[in-house]
A and B are shown apart, each in its own frame.
Chain A
Amino acid sequence: MPESLDPLLPPGRLYDHRSSGHVPLVLPYHQGDVFTGVDLAGLPEVSNADEHLAMLFMHPCTMRDAGGALREFVTVVRVTRQSATKVLADPVHWERNYKVMPLPDLYETGKGTHAADFMQIATVASAALPRTHRVAQLSADGRLLMQQRIVFHLTRHAPLLRLFEQAVAHIEAEAQYQADWVEAGTARTPVADVNLAQVEALEHEAQEYLGNSRAPDSLRNQLAVESSRAAATRTIQLEIARRYPRPGTL
């Protein structure tokens, strides 16, 4: 059993995307996504939160309804600036500081450090988190670190990261296949012309195909079970290839 939480990953492995623009629209919402311009009513004004950053906090299983859509209201945690200049990426700096999720070099500019503060939680309408305001997305391993920190913050229990990996593998799979679906569906559209309406229509199609978690035989439920996940994956990937053959393979 570990006697401390897992060390922070270097920024290159902590994030999948980070930018002063926005994360690609085709990527689904994930726990740990950071949004700018979010009004966190009820939280006190502080000087290091003037970017109005918030991190999607809710567990990936509960942030979506049975059909896979983001719920109307979701919980977020405030992201504050810890340093405007220093990239505090050394895991030692964050040892024993388990009330936050460190976010060094959030904009990939080579400077600055932010942190999501688990002590400052708010509920916002999911409409207040448009994907055009999403500035960062954690990597799958970054999300595991965040989950371990949240669980420890709330309960003082420190499960191994690999248990989180196993417990959320089906959610990671669902999100991946939704992104694969949207990516394939927009492959013939120039990236600059891909719009949110097109993305959301394809996401809806993908979620319908995965089925409802209340239907026992749905692909969504097959993904939840380790022994049927690979077979469900093959079925979904073949369906994506059938519906949206890659340009050049027709």
Chain B
Amino acid sequence: MDINTTGTMTHVRTQVREERTTSPGAVPQWSDLVDATWREARQHSRGKTTQLDSQHRDLYTAAFSDLTRESVARPTRDLLDDLATEFGLAWVDLSRMVGVSVPAIRKWRMDGGASPENHERVAQVWAFLTALRQHLHVGDPVTWLTRRLEPGFAVTVKHLWAPERAGLLLDLAAGGTTATQVLDRIDPQWQDTYTTSDEVVMFDDGMPAIVQRG
């Protein structure tokens, strides 16, 4: 294989160019060998891209894990205070992300007493928001979390949240992947699951309302 640093094959390119040059304006003459070589090169390039994506996400996952380890050492109450006063996260959103009730969060905030598993889940949300802010410079992580991912589909990042997806979602925030790619990976049926002909807009009374998409 004669592949340069950008993943293209110089000799194949030259060959095709030569064919074009010898027949100006004509479709290049078919060659099974050239076709197969191009095919192989593209497959190699896709494989390389997948590998790079995965390795880059591993970096995000590692950063998330480091922040989780750091935050697990703190009391649950402190983490909840941070989530409220530093990030502006509503309890109802935290309860859905962590999978517990709002009264449970209220109790932990006043009296502590979260189980180690629930404490870790709260710490993971804190770590994710902190990674967004510190490493990816997302100014307002909670607003980013509640942003609609695709027009016409009722799904946001907070609905997709799970600790094992932290690397992928951080990659989305960094622009390394698209919302469609993330959704395809997490829920291949997402176009059926989340599709809606309605949307929420600010109505003329200044409050949100559900209307048909225009």
Interface residues of A (CB under 8 A from B): 1, 13, 16-17, 61, 139-141, 159-160, 162-164, 166-170, 172-173, 176, 179-180, 183, 187, 213, 221, 224-227, 229-234, 237-238, 241, 246
Contact = CB atoms under 8 A, between A and B. Distances in A.
Contacts of B38: none
Interface residues of B, number: 39
B196 interface: yes
A231 B140 contact: yes
Contacts of B209: 167
Given A139-B102, A224-B208, A231 B88 contact: yes
B89 A230 contact: yes
A238 B85 CA distance: 6
B92 A176 contact: yes
Contacts of B210: 159, 163-164, 167
B176 interface: no
B85 A140 contact: no
A183 B91 CA distance: 14
Contacts of B154: 160, 162-163, 166
Most buried by A among B142, B154, B159, B202: B154
B15 interface: no
B143 A229 contact: yes
Contacts of A141: 96
Contact of B199 (A163, A170, A237, A246): A163
Nearest to B103: A16
A166 B103 contact: no
Is chain A's interface secondary structure helix, strand, loop, or mixed overall? helix
Contacts of B159: 162
A162 B155 contact: yes
Given A61-B207, A225-B202, A237-B84, A230 B140 contact: yes
A166 B200 CA distance: 7
A229 B194 CA distance: 24
A182 B87 CA distance: 21
A141 B87 CA distance: 23
Interface in B98-150: 101-103, 106, 110, 140, 142-143, 146-147
28 contacts: A1-B196, A16-B101, A16-B103, A17-B103, A139-B101, A159-B198, A162-B154, A162-B155, A162-B194, A163-B154, A163-B196, A167-B210, A170-B207, A172-B90, A172-B92, A176-B91, A176-B92, A183-B110, A213-B206, A213-B207, A224-B202, A224-B206, A229-B88, A230-B87, A230-B140, A230-B143, A234-B87, A246-B77
